[in-house]
Amino acid sequence: MNLHGKVAVITGASGGIGSATARRLADAGCHVVVGYNSRAAEAEKVVADLSGSGHRAARMPMEDTAALREVAAMVEREYGRCDVLVNSAGFTRMIPHADLEALTDELIDAIFVANVRGPFATIRAFVPLMKRSDDAVIVNISSGAAITGGGSNIAYGGSKAAIDAMTKSLARVLGPNIRVVAVSPGAVDTGFVPGRTSEMVERAAQRTPLKRMVQADEVAQTVMAAVTLMTATTGSILLVEGGSLL
């Protein structure tokens, strides 16, 4: 799939995986909309550092469906197309799995709004525009926690399991115009999980067959493979976790 002149929208693109994906897509010739929630300055820096032209930042809060629809309308108005949508936005907190009381109703709701309802609302807003593309792709960033039941807390793993199920359902109903895949990393050394240190990620990496941390750009490369090379793949969960599930 040739991405030159095509349009990609990335939620959570001010973060580690999102920004790495934005760089990869821009290098391939895409015009990139860098979605963010509260980190406007970081998003603008990502835009400034992208190769090529036609990039911009856009606030895309996962809890605000109306705002997501407004961004979809802006993309249609300014670009006239959307060929790639990457749902990289997410939210979590470190809560020991055994501490059931610490996983409050409010935190569970916030996690599921950001990690499940928000991505679905984003997809729902962009699908009418994406159906006009000759080969559109949606990539949902999931997690190995969806499979193991591990991760930063119990609700987080549950939210990513929901993303995996949603990916399969959407792949079934959006084909043949739109392919839908999930990219499922293990622990990546970014600032995504408050309170998780690089040392904690490194210790987890040493328990995997590859015995090294997964880098954000390796996740971005998997996104690129899903978009450009795996043109007969839809509904699949692509693991990027160093073999940790073994």
**Beta-carbon contacts of residue 232 (< 8 Å; ≥ 6 apart):** none
Task: Go through 49-71 and write b for each residue having 16 or more CB atoms within 10 A of its CB, e for each that does not.
Answer: ebeeeebebbbbbbebbebbeeb
Q: Do strands 7-11 and 56-59 pair parallel, antiparallel, or not at all (unpaired)?
A: unpaired
Distance from first CA to last CA of the chain, Å, rounded? 32
Q: Cα separation of 32 and 164, whole Å?
A: 25
Measure CA 195 to chain center: 21
- Which amino acid is present at 83? D
Q: Does 156 qualify as catalytic in the annotation?
A: yes
Task: Quote the distance between the C-alpha of residue 75 and its chain's center.
Answer: 18
Tell me which residue of 224, 217, 230, 234 sits closest to 181, measured CA to CA. 234
Tokens 């994906």 — which residue? 21
Which tokens sit at 180? 């839908």
**Catalytic site residue from 120, 126, 156, 192:** 156
Nearest CA to 151 out of 106, 104, 188, 199 is that of 188
CB 39 within 8 A of CB 45: no
Q: Residues with catalytic annotation? A: 156
